Amino acid sequence: MATVDDAPAVADLVHRAYRSDESRTGWTTEADLVGGQRVDAAMVSELVTSPTGVVLVAEDDDGLLACCHLERRDAVAYLGMFAVRPRHQGRGTGRAMLSAAEEHAARAWGAATLEISVINHRHELIAWYERCGFARTGVEHAFPYGDERYGLPQRDDLVLLEMVKRLGPAA
């Protein structure tokens, strides 16, 4: 689990994986949809010190390899800020991190459902989440237009699609 000391590296990894030019070397990126920052170190520090959440991290010899944020919302756990170093994507690290998050949500918190939200235009990513057991709920959340802490949208038709996965005893 990340601590406040890890916050700058987590923010950097998230930026590299989501929006940087380097993100284009991965198999999925939002660099063409949203510019600017996804999160900064101060925001990550708030997340790691929150009593209702954790930031899970995986490291290798080159430093931070993967991360995700999990937040407890009663019987639902919300997963966000999910990132793998771009050049290491597509090797199963994301699936392994997702399994660790599911296990934490189910065992530590007793959560029955894992929820994510995905930008509507990220078709390849939505397909992957479906292969991982998530389904769209039909609920759409507004993209945070006008709040530069979450980036600079490059088009005006972005919405966040809600997807959920039931967590069974085996999660």
Chain residues binding ligand COA by CB under 6 A are 17-18, 26-28, 82-84, 89-95, 116, 118, 124-125, 128, 131
Taking the CB of residue 20, how many other CB atoms lie within 10 A of it? 17
Least distance (Å) between residue 67 CB and ligand COA: 9
Least distance (Å) between residue 62 CB and ligand COA: 15
Q: 45: which 2 tokens?
A: 């520090």
Least distance (Å) between residue 16 CB and ligand COA: 9
Q: Which is nearer to ligand COA, 23 or 45 (CB)?
A: 23
Q: Which is nearer to ligand COA, 79 or 167 (CB)?
A: 79
Least distance (Å) between residue 123 CB and ligand COA: 9
Taking the CB of residue 94, how many other CB atoms lie within 10 A of it? 22
Closest residue to bound ligand COA by CB? 94
